[in-house]
Structure 1
């Protein structure tokens, strides 16, 4: 082991300048302390893992990915700030798993076999900002199990088997920005489910089995910008369900079983810019459906059961930039006169024109709507 006080350094010090000598000795002592600290960090690195220190800072990344580990190593470098434990074989998370690393900011536990989490598993981890638990086998979450994670920004719970959510489940998480819950087995969203998440910006609930949403499910989410309900089993949405989402900018309802969308459905969404209701069972839209959404720029209605739509309604949406209407069974009679006129006149980018075609009557079957003229459309009783 090299001597940090080696005489090789002494020629740098002038014996005629005491203050300079003392300054250099303080520098040497400081280097010695840093050198000893680095050795200590390396010694505390678990055998199965690799540890690397962020340059010029006292922050160590511990990488234990794909090591066949059954538990989080009990002894980690004190200054651990990133812990990567993905693709191991953990089954349970006991209490206080992060108590030895108070500076921890990011923990990756994806693709393990975690089935249960102790309510105090994350006690003391107040600096944690990212927690990745996706791709495990959890069927439920501990009530108040995240209450110590006051600074958590990102919580990833996708690809589990979580079947239900309870109001106190996310208590204490006042700074959470993104909550990912896709590919679980949720069937309902009860009242006040997300109420503690006052800073939430992104909520992903895609690819679940959600059939019902309480009108109070989204209470408290004043800051939410993006809500994804793609690929669920929604048949109807109660009036005012989204009313508390006053800041929402994008709403995705694709691949459900919705038969109606009304102005009451979209009540409160005064800042909504993008609305996607593709591949549902919507048969008609009332003329005032977008009354509460004056800022809409993108609307997706392709893959529904629309026979007609009021083109004037679309024309009056001054900010509309894209509207997708293809793959609907359009009935090309005079009921779509206003739509034909809109398609011909609008500057908005709309459906691929060759895919926007008539289904009936027979003489117009498969005709592209943009090639029709209003005066040729029949009016029948």
Structure 2
């Protein structure tokens, strides 16, 4: 008798689950109680589906043809924790689209056609941890766009149309740890752009159009451990450009246009363990700047036009003494003078490093 009751309950539960699942989607129950996963990937959907199971926790809607997110589309699924909407054609998001989704932790909007985010569009998402907005067409950032996201830890914004970062752009994101702004067109950064990001550990500005870093830009980033500035147009760094990065462990400045580095530019980075300066226009650097980095383990200096004269002697001497790994030593070669061209820096003798009047 008990078996029959159990069987009838199971049949009833299955019927209810089927009834509350969109016809072209697949709904399955998670091992835990009262949690359904809804998979509508690549189903040709043109609109956000209705008739979703009220206990849905994971909603997969990637690679469909959804263009608009209307108000209250999540109201029927209050337990939703994860939504994947990547690679649709989303152009418009109603300011109340995500209302009520207070348990949502992951929202993936990668690869859509979003040009603008309405003010306070995420304000109900108090538990959101991960927000993916990469490969859209977002051109302007304002703090009000991120209102309410006090628990966000990871914000991905690569491959957008950003040209500048204004003051207080990310101020509400007090718990943010990872910020990816790579592959944009950023030319200008306000000195107060990163205000409020005291927990940030990783900042990626790779592949932008930065020519200068204003003094104090990173001053608030006391927790930052990795900064990526590769593939920009930086020709110089001022003494105060990197102020505040006392906790930094990895700094990447590859493939810029750096011609000169002030001897003390890295003076307040005692924890730096990896420094990448390859692919620039450096002809010489003061080797003494590296003596103030007790934790330095890897240094990349190749693909620079080294001028091997008396001005580079401190670098050569430091190379002889350091235990740090140098980007292959065989790749560090003189470009000038002619008699030393293609000679390895590590093989240079003191009497070869001459300065001519």
Alignment TM-score > 0.5, same fold: yes
Matched, 1:210 2:213: no
Q: How does 1:196-275 map to 2 (within 5 A)?
A: 196-275=172-251
Structure 1 SS opposite 2:314: helix
Runs of 4+ that moved beyond 4 A: 31-35
CA apart distance, 1:263: 3.1
Distance in 1 separating the partners of 2:77 and 2:342: 65
What CA distance in whole angstroms lies between the structure 2 residues aligned with 1:303 and 1:9? 73
Distance across 2 between alignment mates of 1:232 and 1:56: 45
Q: Does 1:344 align with 2:325?
A: no
Q: Quote the residue 1:17 is aligned against.
A: none
Shift of 1:33: 4.8
* C-alpha contact 1:159 1:183 (8 A) present in aligned 2: yes
User: Which digits, 9 at most, give the CA deviation of each residue in 1:41-95, with x for residues without a partner?
Assistant: 1221111101111124211100000011001111100100000000000111111
Q: 1:34 to 1:173 in 2, by over 3 A?
A: farther
Post-superposition offset of 1:32: 5.4
Does the CA-based 8 Å contact 1:263-1:292 persist in structure 2? no
Deviations 1:93-143 (A, max 9, x none): 111111100000000000001111110000000000000000001111111
- Identify which range, 291-300 or 224-233, moves more after superposition: 291-300
| Aligned equivalents of 2:136, 2:163: Cα separation in 1 | 14
Q: In structure 2, what is the Cα distance between the partners aligned to 1:199 and 1:34?
A: 43
Aligned length: 357
Q: Which of 349, 354, 357 is 1:378 aligned to?
A: 354
1:162-173 to structure 2, matched below 5 A, reads: 162-173=138-149
* Partner of residue 92 from structure 2, selected from 105, 116, 120: 116
Runs (5+) with no aligned partner, structure 1:
1-6, 11-27
Q: Which runs of 5+ in 2 are unaligned?
A: none
- TM-score, normalization: structure 1? 0.91
Q: Is the 8 A contact 1:41 1:78 kept in 2?
A: no
Cα offset for 1:39? 2.7
Deviates more, 1:326-335 or 1:364-373: 364-373
- Alpha carbons 2:259, 2:281 under 8 Å: kept: yes
Matched, 1:296 2:272: yes
Alignment check: 8 A CA contact 2:163 2:187 kept: yes
Answering whether residue 114 of structure 2 is matched by residue 138 of structure 1, we say yes
Q: Given the alignment, which residue of 9, 33, 37 partners 1:61?
A: 37
RMSD, matched Cα: 1.4
| Contact 1:158-1:180 within 8 A present in 2 as well | yes
Distance in 2 between residues matched to 1:247 and 1:169, nearest whole Å: 24
CA displacement at 1:317 relative to structure 2: 1.2
Task: Give the 3-state SS of the residue equivalent to 1:275 in structure 2.
Answer: strand
Number of the residue aligned with 1:89: 65
* 2:125 partner SS: coil
Tell me, yes or no, if structure 1 residue 316 matches structure 2 residue 292: yes
2:267 and 2:292 in contact (8 A); partners too:
no
- Check 1:57–1:308 CA distance in 2 against 1; reply closer, same or farther (3 A cut): same
Rounded to whole Å, the distance in 1 between the matches of 2:118 and 2:14 is 38
In structure 1, how many angstroms separate the alpha carbons of the residues matched to 2:57 and 2:136? Answer: 26
Local SS of the residue matching 1:149: coil
- Contact 1:194/1:220, CA 8 A, preserved across alignment: yes
**Equivalent residue for 1:282?**
258
Contact 1:242 1:268 in 2 (8 A): yes
2:331 to 355, 359, 369: 355
1:174/1:371 Cα in 2 relative to 1: closer, same or farther (>3 Å)?
Answer: same
